[in-house]
């Protein structure tokens, strides 16, 4: 947790600390994560079905969450099941440490849950006001193995 993890194409890196990576946490009912953001990086909208998260900003670059600017040393609480995201809107890298009140908080990313699922294209078209072509494009983006018909 001393250094950033491997950055994805999106400029986001996370290092989870849970019983699988740190066995001393087994049965303690807690886990942690280090999240690093290059300028412009985003942790997509997601929620944790089994835990509340407390995010502590270690290095800031004027991140906004719920239209609130979080600065170094501040925290934000995300209750279990609440959809949330983080984005670095600044010009320098940002780091957040998150802690969870579960050793297995889970994480469900909304784009993957919607467009990487088997939800019928016509329902998605109506729900999001997108064309059939746009739905196919979104499915391929969030589930490259998807075989979908326009």
Binding site, residues? 43, 46, 48, 53, 84
Question: For residue 39, which phi and psi values (nearest 5 degrees)?
Answer: -55, 130
Other Cβ atoms closer than 10 A to 131: 11
Other Cβ atoms closer than 10 A to 123: 10
Query: For residues 100 and 75, is the Cβ–Cβ distance under 8 A?
Result: no
Q: Which residues pair with 46 in a beta bridge?
A: 84, 109
Q: Which of 46, 100, 40, 81 shows the shortest CA–CA distance to 64? A: 40
Please state the residue numbers annotated as binding site for oxalate: 43, 48, 53
- Compute the distance between CA of residue 48 and CA of residue 52 in angstroms, rounded to an integer: 7
Please state the residue numbers annotated as binding site for Mn(2+): 46, 48, 53, 84
Question: For residue 113, which phi and psi values (nearest 5 degrees)?
Answer: -65, -35
- Compute the distance between CA of residue 66 and CA of residue 37 in angstroms, rounded to an integer: 18
């Amino acid at each position: 947790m001393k250094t950033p993890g491997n950055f994805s194409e999106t400029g986001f890196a996370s290092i989870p600390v849970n019983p699988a990576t740190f066995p001393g946490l087994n049965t303690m009912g807690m886990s942690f994560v280090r999240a690093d953001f290059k300028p412009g990086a985003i942790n997509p909208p997601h929620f944790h079905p089994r835990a509340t998260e407390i995010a502590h900003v270690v290095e800031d670059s004027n991140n906004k969450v719920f239209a609130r600017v979080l600065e170094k040393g501040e925290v934000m609480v995300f209750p279990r099941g609440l959809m949330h995201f983080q984005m670095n809107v600044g010009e320098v890298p940002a780091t957040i440490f998150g802690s969870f009140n579960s050793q297995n908080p889970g994480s469900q990313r909304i784009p993957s849950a919607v467009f990487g699922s088997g939800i019928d294209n016509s329902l998605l078209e109506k729900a999001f006001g997108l064309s059939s072509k746009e739905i196919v494009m979104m499915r391929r983006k969030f589930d490259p193995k998807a075989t979908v018909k326009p």
